A = this chain, B = another copy of it.
Amino acid sequence: MILAVDIGGSSTKMGLVEDGRVISRARISTTGHADEHVFVDAIAGTARLMTDGSGAGLDSIGIGAPNANQLSGVIEMAPNLPWKHDVPLAKMVSERLGAPATLGNDANAAALGELRYGAGRGYQDLLVVTLGTGVGSGLIVNGHLVLGSAGNAGELGHTTLVMDGRRCTCGRAGCLEAYVSIRGIRETYADLGGDADVLRTEGVKAIADAARGGEKAARFAFQWTADWLAVALANAVAMTGPGRVVLFGGITRSGDLLMEPLLARFDKVLLNIHKGRVDVVLSALEEDDAALLGAAALTTFRS
């Protein structure tokens, strides 16, 4: 039995995975803990509750998190998590629960989940892009996850899209994430003179609703977001040549509002030699399970 943990900017999902299925689920808050030790206590306590109070029966633990370095087991200076310093989370959780733990980038976990169970099945070269609080990516080349020399490859969200552009949480300017994350879309909508009432709600659902209702600022916000994302995806394809790009994460719930302009623009900006050789699709996995299955897949993965 594998304990799968998916750490997000606001909440952390947990699940027990057996034979490639999620058999039980829990959720704790990522924020609001005094420090990372208290947070790990909460993970361990919840895991014990999920396993009849003992924590026994756990073979291994897979943890997906933003800015996680799979080679070192450390979460490194994550701009979207409460801890701005390096946190050796794999070791901390493993010690609390007495089972080996593998920490991996949440986007790498998603890529492994899609490769094994989802829209990436059968592909040797695959790019999975997560669109949510942050923007991440996991890259499969020749059937293997690309970790990079220091374990931190796949940072599509922090490639520069616009030189001297918008400030990003990473401290730099013009990153893709500053444009196509939840915050990015909200900023675009605000820049376009969007409705203040819509912006009072969190996330991008209200903007999507406004767009479906025909509001111009909201429609343009999705159009612009799609244009930016299309260029970034075409760039990643030019470098790495995947046969498929899978989009994953909260923003993809916007569906055709994002996908229609995205596919049109992607086809336009793609280099000639890649046309017809790569497609862009939405994740085919149940949203909650995908991240957990990906985290579970981390435990057995070798690059």
Contact = CB atoms under 8 A, between A and B. Distances in A.
Contact of A239 (B150, B155, B162): B155
A149 B234 contact: no
Contacts of A272: 77, 170-171
Contact of A142 (B144, B162, B239): B144
Contacts of A16: none
A150 B274 contact: yes
A231 to B, nearest CB: 5
A250 interface: no
User: Which among A125, A141, A155 has the greatest number of chain B C-beta atoms within 10 A?
Assistant: A141
A156 interface: yes
Nearest to A232: B160
Q: How many copies are assembled?
A: 2
Interface stretch (A41-49, A88-96, A187-195, A240-248): A240-248
A150 B271 contact: no
A117 to B, nearest CB: 20
User: Which among A76, A125, A163, A235 has the greatest number of chain B C-beta atoms within 10 A?
Assistant: A235
Contact of A278 (B149, B154, B160, B162): B149
A299 interface: no
Nearest to A231: B160
A236 interface: yes
Interface of A: 67, 69, 76-77, 123-125, 137, 139, 141-142, 144, 146-156, 158-163, 170-172, 231, 234-236, 238-243, 269, 271-274, 277-278, 303
A238 B158 contact: yes
Given A156-B238, A159-B235, A239-B159, A277 B150 contact: yes
Contacts of A161: 163
A155 B271 contact: yes
A179 to B, nearest CB: 11
